[in-house]
Structure 1
Amino acid sequence: MEEDIQWSLDQLDQLIKDSHDYKQKALLMGVKDLLLEQEKRTEQIQGQLDGTLWSPNDWGS
């Protein structure tokens, strides 16, 4: 995981911990889930791209 993503997750965790408002906590937790999902999808698409670049069958004509 990239350093900036980890920093963002740490900041969100601290904000969630410090928040006393249910709606704010729910929003922050949703943002955290979204960030984690984006990171996962980024890793998946990078793997797919690497696989395509190294597979002559997928290069096309």
Structure 2
Amino acid sequence: MSKDPWGLEGLPTSAYVIADVQLTCSAEELAEYRSKVVATLKPYGGHHLTRDSEIEVVEGE
């Protein structure tokens, strides 16, 4: 049996992360963390679509 029955091996894969984060650090620690996050995404061609502290519920509760 083939490991990749759909013939998608080697094609780019998209991933989306939605997070509701409760901060437990100082503003300085957060700034340091945020300054380093982008570098962890770059090797994979990743980037932020949006970053915001305001949330709008458009469906559900």
What is the TM-score with the length of structure 1 in the denominator?
0.31
What is the TM-score with the length of structure 2 in the denominator?
0.31
**Structure having greater relative contact order (Cα 8 Å, sep ≥ 6):** 1
Which has more helix, going by share of residues?
A: 1
